């Protein structure tokens, strides 16, 4: 009989330990780590999600910088838990990690996103209001660029044109470099890589403000896309086998292809998906209308707002966009904090 209280005490202690361990498993000991994306749309989306996670659910968050590929590798290792704007399926690092079940692409966050090679419309059509003649009236496809290298003259290498590529470290930089080879343009154009997304914008804005010809890679959603009249050059139809040669920088015989059809998602690690089903349910519903997003990005750029402030303004001004992602109780918490 004396052993019964001891047994009961042991059971109580054991249950207490189980309860404590269960609570500990549910409560993160570390902040949720988001990738610090350098381009505007990714930076804004990151802060929108962080505000919802922090204000609506009470989880701490932080951001860690890195290149696109390094962030995908970190996500697979759970060194990062969230990449707020993941162009899923673009890089071998992502594809391999996804096949292993280490990363997951949640939702379809921005419909009608595009990417490609662009020139200002006045390069092809001219601008009679400013007495600007068309410099490349026959320019329609990437193959036509072979005839117009002189138009896009590189100031440091006058015998070649200049192609403004993505910054080094972006998946698109690898693809664009391979496309220059695939389209037979490598010898005709300098593959110019800017140091950051902001530097790429500065190069483009400077050329367009002076009505100079400029050839560059770009994407939407982005503030620049709504600011200027741009023409996207035609490329061969998408081909999966050709695309594989474009994403592999070691491939010596890349084949031309339009980029993989765009789908923007929220990338999360396997551990995050398991640990935060409440946030996974939210991320799967995220839908940012591209017109509203481009407008917010345009103001963010024009007013020189940091992404956190722009995200706060976005949530304040567009409750109809995000409240449907959340339960009424969580939406109320976010709205009250705003």
Q: Residue 168 maps to which CATH number?
A: 3.40.190.100
136/167 same-domain check: yes
Residue 110 φ/ψ, nearest 5 degrees: -135, 110
**Does some domain include residue 16?**
no
130/233 same-domain check: yes
The residue whose two tokens read 């009608």 is: 112
Provide the domain count of the chain: 2
Which of 246, 277, 303 is the last residue in one of the domains? 246
210/282 same-domain check: no
Q: What is the pLDDT of residues 38-78, one digit of tens each?
A: 889 999 999 999 999 999 999 999 999 998 889 999 999 99
118/242 same-domain check: yes
268/242 same-domain check: no
Which tokens in the block code for residue 8?
């009961």
Whether the per-residue pLDDT at 21 is higher than 70: the answer is no
Cα separation values, 48 from 56, 131, 135, 296, Å: 11, 44, 42, 12
Boundaries of domain holding 240 = 114-246
Q: Degrees (nearest 5) of the Cα angle 322, 327, 333?
A: 75
Q: What is the pLDDT of residues 261-273, one digit of tens each?
A: 888 999 999 999 9
**Does some domain include residue 57?**
yes
280/163 same-domain check: no
**Does some domain include residue 254?**
no
Which of 246, 271, 301 is the last residue in one of the domains? 246
Q: What is the pLDDT of residues 168-217, one digit of tens each?
A: 988 899 999 999 999 999 999 999 998 888 899 999 999 999 999 999 99
89/119 same-domain check: no
CA separation for the pair 226, 205 (Å, rounded): 13
| Contact criterion met (CB below 8 Å) for 299 and 120 | no
Name the residue with higher pLDDT: 315 or 67.
Answer: 315
Name the residue with higher pLDDT: 71 or 27.
Answer: 71
**Does some domain include residue 75?**
yes
């Amino acid at each position: 009989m004396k052993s019964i209280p001891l047994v009961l005490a042991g059971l109580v202690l054991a249950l207490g330990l189980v309860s404590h361990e269960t609570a500990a498993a549910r409560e993160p000991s570390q902040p949720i780590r988001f990738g610090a994306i350098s381009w505007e749309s990714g930076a804004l989306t990151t802060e929108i999600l962080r505000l919802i996670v922090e204000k609506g659910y009470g989880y701490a968050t932080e951001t860690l910088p890195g290149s696109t590929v390094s962030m995908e590798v970190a996500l697979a290792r759970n060194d990062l838990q969230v990449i707020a704007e993941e162009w899923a399926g673009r890089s071998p690092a992502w594809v391999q990690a996804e096949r292993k079940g280490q990363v997951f692409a949640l939702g379809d966050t921005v419909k009608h996103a595009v990417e490609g090679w662009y020139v200002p419309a006045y390069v092809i059509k001219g601008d009679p209001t400013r007495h600007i003649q068309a410099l490349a009236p026959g320019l329609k496809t990437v193959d036509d660029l072979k005839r117009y290298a002189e138009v896009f003259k590189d100031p440091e290498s006058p015998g070649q044109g200049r192609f403004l590529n993505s910054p080094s470290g972006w998946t698109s930089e690898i693809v664009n470099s391979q496309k220059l080879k695939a389209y037979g343009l490598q010898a005709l154009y300098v593959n110019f890589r800017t140091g950051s997304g902001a530097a790429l914008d500065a190069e483009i804005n400077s050329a367009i403000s002076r009505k100079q010809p400029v050839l560059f890679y770009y994407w939407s959603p982005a503030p620049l896309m709504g600011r200027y009249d741009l023409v996207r050059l035609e490329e061969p139809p998408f081909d999966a086998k050709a695309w594989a040669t474009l994403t592999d920088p070691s491939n010596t015989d890349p084949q031309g292809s339009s980029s993989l059809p765009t789908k923007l998602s929220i990338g999360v690690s396997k551990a995050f998906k398991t640990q935060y089903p409440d946030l996974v349910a939210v991320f799967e519903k995220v839908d940012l209308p591209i017109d509203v997003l481009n407008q917010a990005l345009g103001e963010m750029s024009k007013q020189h707002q940091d992404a956190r402030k722009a995200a706060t303004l976005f949530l304040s001004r567009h409750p109809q966009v995000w409240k449907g992602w959340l339960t009424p109780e969580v939406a109320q918490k976010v709205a009250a904090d705003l």
